[in-house]
Amino acid sequence: MLPLEQVKRPVASGFTVVRSEFMFPLSDDFENKYVRIYDGYVLSENDKIIEVGKYTAEIGERILKLSPLKIIGAKDNTIPMLKGILIPGFVKCHGHDHESPLIGLNKEAQLVEWLDKCVNPFTGFINEKQEELVAKYNVSPHLITYRKARLDDLTFGITSAMTHHCNHNKYHVHEIAQANIEAGTKMVIAVGAQDRFYDKRILDSPEVAVKRMDDYFELLKNAPRTKVVPGPDQCFSNGPELLKALKKWAVEHDTLIHIHSSEEPGTTKWFIETFKQTPVEYFESIGFHRSKIGSCTLSQLH
C-alpha cells in the first residue's frame, strides 16, 4: 500500500466562485440558522471558503476583479446563476463507502437479511480473495470500492462525510484514507467493532478493538482532512464491555462515537424481547450516553 504521506491530494489554487438559485447557508454567522437565500454564492480562496451569502451586482463586480478566478459554470466573463442548491456547511453524517457497488440490491430487505445475504458476503469475499483480486486489478479491491464511493459523493456535490467503516472494512482504514485524500474530500472514519450476534470471522475483544483505534489514530495523525472515531456497528452486535472500552477511548481522545441502534422494527422487536430493554435504555444503562443522541428512530422514542 502507498504510504499516506505519498498520496497526492488535489489542491485548489486561487479563487473559486459559484452562484446558485438557492442556498441553505447552515452557518452560525446568520441570526436565523434556518434562513434560506435566493440567489446565493460561495467564494473560496485556495481550499478555504471565505465568503457565503446573497449575491448582488456589487459583490459580483468585486469578485470579478480577483485573480486568478475560476467561475463555476461560466460561459463568458460573468458569474451565472446556476439551477441548483448550495449547502456550503453540509456534512453527509452517515455513509457506508463499502456498499457503493451494492446499492439497489435487495433494497426491500430488512437490516439483518441485508447484512447476512448481501453486505457481509460481498465484503467478506473481497477480504478473503484480496490477493487474487490485487493480482487481477493491480490494486486493493477495497480501494476500488472506496474510490467509487468518493466519486458518488462528489457527483452529488458532497465533499464532507462521516463514513461508517464497519464489518470487514474495519481492517482497511488505510485504503479508505487513501481514497479520501486522493479525492480531496473531508472524512471522519467511524471504525467498526462487534463481539456478538455477527459474522464469527470478525468478532473482537475489547482489547483488540481499542488497539485497533490506537493504531489508526497514529496512522492518521498527519493525514489531511481525515480523522478516526470509534464506530461499533450496532447495539445488538456490541456487548457492554466492548462499548464501555470504546466509549472510554472516545472520551480520552475527545472524539465522537458512532453506533447504529437496531434500526428497523423487526430487529428492534427482537432486541427488546431478548434484552428486556430498548436500544436507548441499553446504552443508558452502561453509561454510553452523555447529554445528546445524534439520531433516534420512531420505534425507539419511548
What pLDDT digit, counting tens, does each position of 242-263 carry?
Answer: 999 999 999 999 999 999 887 7
- pLDDT value of position 75: 93
- pLDDT value of position 76: 93
- pLDDT value of position 205: 97
Mention every residue, 6+ apart, whose C-beta is less than 8 A from residue 37.
22, 23, 24, 25, 53, 54
Q: How far is Cα 19 from Cα 72, in angstroms, rounded to an integer?
A: 8
- Given a cut of 70, the residues of the chain with pLDDT beneath it are 27-33, 291-302
Task: Output DSSP code: residue 291.
Answer: S
- pLDDT value of position 284: 92
What does the block give as the cell for 150?
A: 468518493
As its CATH architecture, domain 92-300 has Alpha-Beta Barrel (3.20)
Q: In what order do the strands lie in the sheet with 160-165?
A: 92-95, 160-165, 186-191, 226-230
What does the block give as the cell for 281?
A: 435504555
- pLDDT value of position 263: 72
What does the block give as the cell for 296?
A: 433516534
φ, ψ for residue 119 (rounded to 5)?
Answer: -65, -55
Q: Which residue from 234, 99, 83, 192 is spatially nearest to 153, judged by alpha carbons?
A: 99
Task: Specify the residue for cell string 428497523.
Answer: 264
Mention every residue, 6+ apart, whose C-beta is less than 8 A from residue 114.
106
- pLDDT value of position 65: 97
Q: How far is Cα 25 from Cα 41, in angstroms, rounded to an integer?
A: 10
C-beta of residue 84 within 8 angstroms of C-beta of residue 18:
no
Mention every residue, 6+ apart, whose C-beta is less than 8 A from residue 188.
161, 162, 163, 227, 228, 229, 256
- pLDDT value of position 25: 81
Give me the residue spans of the domains in the chain.
Answer: 15-86, 92-300
Q: How far is Cα 42 from Cα 89, in angstroms, rounded to an integer?
A: 11
Q: How far is Cα 219 from Cα 212, in angstroms, rounded to an integer?
A: 10
C-beta of residue 242 within 8 angstroms of C-beta of residue 206:
yes
Q: Which residue from 88, 86, 84, 94 is spatially nearest to 27, judged by alpha carbons?
A: 88
| pLDDT per position as a tens digit, 57-88 | 999 999 999 999 999 999 999 999 999 999 98
- pLDDT value of position 70: 96
Q: How far is Cα 227 from Cα 161, in angstroms, rounded to an integer?
A: 11
Instruction: Characterize 208-237 residue by residue with b for buried, 16 or more Cβ atoms within 10 angstroms of its Cβ, and e for exposed.
Output: ebbebbeebbebbeebbbbbbbbbbbbbbb
